[in-house]
Structure 1
Amino acid sequence: MTDALSELLATRPWVLADGATGTSLMNMGLAPGTPAELWNVTQPDRIRALHQGAVEAGSDLFLTNSFGANASRLRLHGLTARVGELNRAAAEIGREVADASGRRVIVAGSMGPIGEIMAPMGSLTHARAVEMFLEQAEALRDGGADILWVETLSSLEELKAAAEAAQRAGMPWCGSLSFDTMGRTMMGVTPAQLASAVERLPNPPVAYGANCGVGASDLLRTMAALVASGNERPLIAKGNAGVPRLEDGHIHYDGTPELMADYACLARDMGVRVIGGCCGTMPAHLRAMRDALESRPAGPRPTLEKITQLLGAFSSTGEDSLTIGRRRH
């Protein structure tokens, strides 16, 4: 059976995903140290408002409020026994908003990193990682998620565990790593290694790519390397809207809606199929991104120089990504 994202991608060149969950909830009053996922049952109206804001801004896909709702992360708050409850509630709220939208909107069940280091460098075994991802995946499935969305990972070992959990849950999935200094993840993975690794999985993701990291320009440098790998699987880009700052007790990012509109079109012209934002990306950014994607004609594949001209300088030399990206152009 074809999954919802593949069906949507078959009818259009790009899909607009959503923006920031954490930033938005903190600006709604989420206290530091409080697990955001608890709001699925204590403040469900605010979670509905979060998703509704993305849908009204033009998103075709949004992520559930379940990023940290695995047993390991919830254990830090004494909530291990509520993994199923919080994930099901996250998916149910998302399903409600999507079904009421009047158009096709995909509910993506967000699953972030477990929060422990995988063996052999750490103590987290493959079997235990699969178990925790599976508990979350089954609850998201039962709550009505269309697809699983594994994001902000840093190791291929953890990605493999998530892939196995998705397969056991009978769910399609997408995978996204976070690249930072020198074009690598925290665990040293390069974009080329990710592009190769996803094709060796028994159940490759529907789409894969990068999210979070530093800023929009750095994110697109990573995407250039993924494009240059030759892997033709649909790509995901969810970049941050600049860097954070605190204003009047609220977190704001310095990336303007205009900058994120440029980022979205650059991503599209690079060949990215699923385009969204991460930290700091608010409905105003999403609305500008949607308007730009619909109104600006497609252009040639952007060079790294074009990316920095429109979005600002890269935060580091990013030797790996920079070399790969230039070779393709």
Structure 2
Amino acid sequence: MAPVGGKRAKKGILERLHSGEVVIGDGSFLFTLEKRGYVKAGLWTPEATVEHPEAVRQLHTEYLRAGSNVMQTFTFFAGKDNLESKWKEVNEAACDLAREVAEKGDALVAGGISQTSLYKSHGSEPEIKENFQLQLEVFTRKNVDFLIAEYFEYCEEAVWAVEVLKGSGKPVAATMCIGPEGDMNNLTPGECAVRLVKAGASIVGVNCRFGPEISLATVKLMKEGLEASGLKAYLMVQSLGFHTPDCGKGGFVDLPQYPFGLEPRVATRWDIQKYAREAYKLGVRYIGGCCGFEPYHIRAIAEELAPERGFLPDASEKHGSWGSGLNMHTKPWVRARARREYWESLPLASGRPYCPSMSKPDAWGVTKGTAELMQQKEATTDQQLKELFEKQKFKSSVA
């Protein structure tokens, strides 16, 4: 199957989904640009759109080439509450960059808003809605193709966001950063989905905070909630690019590795192909990623669903399906890896001796006595490791 060629007439997001087309979202911006030196962790705000537009443009381009149908504006935490005087300039630049790259392919531009800092500090509904409205005015002026309300912990605030965005007349998607336990007010995923659809969202789902398996489990609960209520909506999932089976209700932010030690948890491209297939089987037709989701992960979605889409992305020109490019390798044992069965059944090794397979989320809390015991255990383990490595070095030198 050859990569898609030429420029095609663009259809709107709802037209695509209504026809059964698979829409592939983009991936990580904040985490990826932080690693590249353009975003500061902790603040997680997108000043890079004006300070380093070349970096944002390049990442958009990589996602487009990998198969993304949507260029989401890099406007996470870009409301006036977080950026003060910079908010307008950042939002305008984000729209321009997304449109510039989208025009180079068959991609739509989605204006994105996220939870505010005002809600947790007991801001009023009018105050929070005004914050959303300011961003919406920029998106409307820049004529984005549709809108996404993403990364909401509380359904109530997400509903307020949808109500504001719906006023534009453009299609609205809404995703929450929740797991199967529901939002922070203990509303179930199914109830969250119902409330978002009733508020006016045409597309609902989850993004961020949880890995592929947990995200899909949550979307399944949303789907069941909608079906039980007799409501219909298109489903959307944009999970982390990290495995998080051991996280609690708050997701990966509670893991001790967040945000600078998550690399051992990165999903492989094969993990993401499985994620894409499972999402498709669940009935999800808008599939993308969030933090930790790199361009090659997006390519994995596009390659897994190429039979349904009818084409491969441009980036597949440099990637043999299921390792087929290894057929040219000089080592016979490497050539033997050029098959799907090998990669699907490969038990992954971490390369980290005595690395625990799971973590205890910090949010669970520990008593002082327990903390001291854990520190003592870690010290003992470190000493044991040193002794083992010294013994191994001795054995190697004797051999």
TM bracket, shorter-chain basis: 0.7 to 0.9
Stretches of structure 2 that go unaligned for 5 or more consecutive residues are 1-10, 244-251, 310-344, 349-356, 361-399
Give the Cα–Cα distance (whole angstroms) in 2 for the partners of residues 284 and 37 of structure 1: 22
Are 2:39 and 2:46, in contact at CA under 8 Å, matched by a contact in 1?
no
Are 1:154 and 1:189, in contact at CA under 8 Å, matched by a contact in 2?
no
SS in 2 for 1:242: coil
In structure 1, the partner of 2:92 is: 88
Counterpart check, 1:198 vs 2:202: no
Counterpart check, 1:286 vs 2:298: yes
Deviation at 1:123, TM superposition (A): 1.9
In structure 2, the partner of 1:11 is: 19
Q: Deviations over 1:246-301 (max 9, x none)?
A: 99x8963421111011001100000011011111110111111110012489xxxx
Answer with 253-262 or 182-191: which moved more.
Answer: 182-191
Give the Cα–Cα distance (whole angstroms) in 2 for the partners of residues 68 and 23 of structure 1: 14
Q: Deviations over 1:63-117 (max 9, x none)?
A: 111011101112xxxxx1222221111011100110122xx21111111111233
Aligned amino acid, residue 236 of structure 1: M
Give the Cα–Cα distance (whole angstroms) in 2 for the partners of residues 261 and 314 of structure 1: 23
In structure 2, the partner of 1:238 is: 238
Give the Cα–Cα distance (whole angstroms) in 1 for the partners of residues 198 and 258 of structure 2: 43
SS in 1 for 2:305: helix
Q: Deviations over 1:36-61 (max 9, x none)?
A: 42111111111111111110000111
Matches within 5 A, 1:51-200: 51-74=60-83, 80-101=84-105, 104-117=106-119, 122-180=121-179, 183-200=181-198
Q: Deviations over 1:222-243 (max 9, x none)?
A: 0111222214310011111124
Are 2:235 and 2:286, in contact at CA under 8 Å, matched by a contact in 1?
yes
Instruction: State the TM-score, normalized to the length of structure 2.
Output: 0.66
Answer with 9-18 or 146-155: which moved more.
Answer: 9-18
Seq. identity, %:
26
Aligned amino acid, residue 234 of structure 1: Y
Give the Cα–Cα distance (whole angstroms) in 2 for the partners of residues 240 and 208 of structure 1: 17
Change (3 A) 1:194 1:315: farther
Instruction: State the TM-score, normalized to the length of structure 1.
Output: 0.80
Match of 1:211 among 199, 207, 212: 207
Q: Larger Rg: 1 or 2?
A: 2
Give the Cα–Cα distance (whole angstroms) in 1 for the partners of residues 278 and 118 of structure 2: 35
Q: Deviations over 1:183-213 (max 9, x none)?
A: 2223322111112212322xx1120111112
Are 2:71 and 2:99, in contact at CA under 8 Å, matched by a contact in 1?
no
Deviation at 1:315, TM superposition (A): 9.8
Are 2:149 and 2:172, in contact at CA under 8 Å, matched by a contact in 1?
yes
RMSD: 3.0
Are 1:134 and 1:168, in contact at CA under 8 Å, matched by a contact in 2?
no
In structure 1, the partner of 2:340 is: none
Aligned amino acid, residue 264 of structure 1: A
In structure 2, the partner of 1:28 is: 36
SS in 2 for 1:116: coil
Give the Cα–Cα distance (whole angstroms) in 1 for the partners of residues 50 and 214 of structure 2: 36
Change (3 A) 1:26 1:61: same
In structure 1, the partner of 2:47 is: 38
Are 1:52 and 1:97, in contact at CA under 8 Å, matched by a contact in 2?
yes
In structure 1, the partner of 2:273 is: 261
Change (3 A) 1:226 1:246: closer
Change (3 A) 1:31 1:155: closer
Stretches of structure 1 that go unaligned for 5 or more consecutive residues are 75-79, 298-308, 317-329
SS in 2 for 1:184: coil
In structure 2, the partner of 1:303 is: none
Are 2:39 and 2:47, in contact at CA under 8 Å, matched by a contact in 1?
no
In structure 1, the partner of 2:393 is: none
Give the Cα–Cα distance (whole angstroms) in 2 for the partners of residues 259 and 53 of structure 1: 20
